[in-house]
Amino acid sequence: MSGKHINLTLKVWRQKGAKDQGSFVEYQAKNVSEHASFLEMLDAVNEEIVAKGEEPIAFDHDCREGICGTCGFVIDGEAHGKLKATTVCQLHMRNYNDGETLTIEPFRANSFPVIKDLMVDRSAFDRIISSGGYISQNTGNPQDANAILIPKADADEAMSSATCIGCGACVAACKNASAALFTSAKISHMALLPQGAVEKNERALRMVAAMDSEGFGACTTTGACEAACPKEIQLTNISRMNRQFLGAVLTQRPKHKDGGAG
């Protein structure tokens, strides 16, 4: 494919596992097409590393279409790189200049331990979802369209919250390593719709408790999460989560050990 080609120096974090100390190792990315994605550029670097008989740089990826949330690392201090609202798999090399040096490292957060090189363990997110990020009633078979009327503003808001792909950039960008943006997006997208609203109090209590028990830091509303989010999830979700959580705490009824009607 025609187009501009550039040469880059990459300082890549290499770490064999969670217990390894890790360090930056320098690589040359030569003759990189401006049409290549960032991950394709790393694929080419890895081919050269493998040809030398060395271990390739490990990084997560799956769809490479900005959908699955699997990819993600920090480029020059920015989670998913410098392009706004873009996952690292959708970041293209036309955004870089010939001769640049790029520093590439994994998301840094205690709750996301490094598995290897640029890969981190984000299973803490899965545990937050398992704690309440679902609707436990059987909602039955698909109904005719518009059987349950939902105000357009609510549907739009729920859809916007549901676009969170669980990549973890919000945690990596936050100075407190808070997972508030992720958790609040997951709480919001269900609470805003009638099927999910029924359990919203219990869900907020459980998911916030799970988030805290995973060791994520507190939200101090600096907005770094919103700025780094490739899906432009908004801080308003955090306000909604806080309101719901507080409401749930205030209206919580004591649990009776013997069950019963209370």
Q: Does 181 bind ligand SF4 (CB under 6 A)?
A: yes
Nearest distance from residue 46's CB to ligand SF4, in Å? 25
Touching ligand FES, residues 216-255 (CB under 6 A) = none
Among 39, 91, 167, 219, binds ligand SF4 (CB under 6 A): 167
Give the type of residue at 110.
N
Q: Does 233 bind ligand SF4 (CB under 6 A)?
A: yes
69 versus 133: smaller Cβ distance to ligand FES: 69
Query: What does 58 interact with, of ligand FES, ligand SF4, none (CB < 5 to 8 A by kind)?
Result: none
Nearer to ligand SF4, 4 or 127 (CB): 127
Could you give the string, one character per residue 106-145, with x where binding to ligand FES holds by CB under 6 A and - elsewhere?
----------------------------------------
Contact characters 60-99, ligand FES, x per CB under 6 A: -xxxx-xxxxxx---------------x-x----------
Q: Is residue 128 near ligand SF4 by the rule CB under 6 A?
A: no
Binding of ligand SF4 by 109 (CB under 6 A) = no
Task: List the strands of the sheet with 78-79, edge to edge.
Answer: 23-33, 5-14, 101-105, 74-75, 78-79
> What are the residues facing 120 on neighbouring strands?
114
Task: Say if residues 214 and 179 touch (Cβ distance below 8 Å).
Answer: yes
The contact set with ligand SF4 (CB under 6 A) reads 164-170, 181-182, 185, 229-231, 233
